[in-house]
Amino acid sequence: MSSDSAASSATAPRRLSARATVAFLWRLGRFAPRLLFANILIWGLYHTLPITLGLIAREFFNTLEGKVAGGIGIWGLLGLLVVVGATRAMLFLVGVVAWTTHLHTIHTLLRKNMLGWLIEGPGARALPDSSGEAVSRFKGMSRKPTIGSTSSSIRLGWSSTRRWPWSSCTRSIRG
C-alpha cells in the first residue's frame, strides 16, 4: 500500500451502519427520556386533534340537516369547536417549549462530549485556530448563511461553503 492511499484512507469519513445510527439515537433518547416522551405525547396529541375537529364539524352539519335526533345542539358543537381549537393552540405553545428544551439539552450534551473528547481524547492537543474559533465551532456555525443558495438552504441557515463544526476538529486531531 502506497503512502498516498494510506493517507487518503486515514482521512476518509467513516460510514456508519443503520444499526449504529439507531443505537446512537437510542442512547440520546435515554439521556432525557422524560423530555422525549413529553414531546412524543404533546406533538402526537397536537397532530391528532384535527381528527376531532373534523368529527365535530361532521356532527355540526348533520345537526343542520336534521339527521341527528337530540344531542348537544348547534351551539354546543360550536363551543366544542372553540374548546378543541384552544386546546390545540395551547398544545402548540407547550410543545414548542418542550421541544426547545429537549433540543437544547441534547445539543448541550453533544457539545460537551465533543469538547471533552478534544481535551481528554487520544492525541489531544491544541486546535490550530484561535480560541474564539474553537468556541464558535461548538456554539454553532461560524459562517453566516449565503443569500444565493436555495430556499431550503436559507431556511436551514446553510451555505455551500459551510463546514460541519467537527470537521476541522477531526482533521486537526488526526493529521
pLDDT of residue 155: 41
The angle subtended at Cα 60 by Cα 56 and Cα 64, nearest 5°, is 170
pTM of model > 0.95 = no
pLDDT of residue 118: 76
Mean pLDDT is lowest, of 26-40, 117-131, 137-151, for 137-151
Enumerate the domain spans of the chain: 19-124, 128-175
For residues 83 and 72, is the Cβ–Cβ distance under 8 A? no
